[in-house]
Amino acid sequence: MKYKIILFAFRTFAAACNPIHESKTASLDQEDRAAQTVQPPVEQEVKDRAYTLDSELENLTLGKFNTSGVTKDSTNEYGAGDCFGKVTYYSQKSMGLGIDSMSCGEYGYTYTHYLLDSKKTIQAVYLKKSESLLQPDGNWKYALTERIFDFRNSQATIIERVDTLNDYNKNVIAKDFEVKKLNDRQTALKKWTTDFKELWELEESY
C-alpha cells in the first residue's frame, strides 16, 4: 500500500500547479521523451509546496510538459566521443525543473530530472540510467537503474529499483521500488547541487 501511495504522489504532480489540458501540453524533444516512460515516486506530504512538486513530475513521466505559466530559461548541449547530452531548465513561479538527457548510443544512457523550489534549492532528483555489460560469452546485458533522491524531509530517502536485462530496447524495470533511508542528507544534496551546476559548464566537442 505504501508504494501505491508513493506512486500516486507523482501521478498528481502537474495538476496541483496548473490544471492539465491536452491542448496546452507540449511534447519534449525525442531524446527527452525517451526518459519519461516510468513513474518515479516521491513520498507524499500534506504541504501545498510538496504537493505541487509531486504534481508537476507526473507530466514528465508521460513525456509531456505543461506550458501554462512555464518559462524555458536556458539550455546547454554538451558531449564528446560517443556520448552527447542536453540539459534544459524550466521555471514557474513556485518551482523549477532541470531535465538532463545524455546518450552514449548502445553503450548506455543517463536521464536526470532535478526538481527545485522557488529559491533554486534541489528538492528531489530522479535518475534513470542504462549501462552495457559485456559477458564472458561475448553477449551483452544491460543494467538498468531507477532512483529517486527525496530531500524534502529532514530524513532524506532513496527510492530505487534495479535490474539486469537481455534486451537493449526494454527500458522498464518489472520490479517494485524499495525505499531506503539516506543517512548523509547534506553530502548527497551537495553532490547533486554541484552536478547540476556543472552541467551548464560542459561543452560540446567533436
* Confidence band of 64 (pLDDT split at 50, 70, 90): low
> For residue 175, what pLDDT is reported?
83
Backbone angles phi, psi at 163, to 5 degrees: -160, 160
CA 199 from centre of chain: 15
| pLDDT, tens only, 108-163 | 899 998 989 889 999 989 898 999 898 899 888 889 998 889 898 889 999 888 99
| pLDDT, tens only, 1-60 | 443 433 333 333 333 333 333 333 333 343 443 333 333 333 333 333 333 445 555 554
Question: pTM value?
Answer: 0.69
The residue that leads in pLDDT, 13 or 191, is 191
Residue 76 exposed, middle or buried by CB count within 10 Å (0-12, 13-18, 19+): middle
> Once rounded to an integer, what is the mean pLDDT over residues 157-174?
81
> For residue 199, what pLDDT is reported?
95
Query: Cell digits for 183?
Result: 543517512
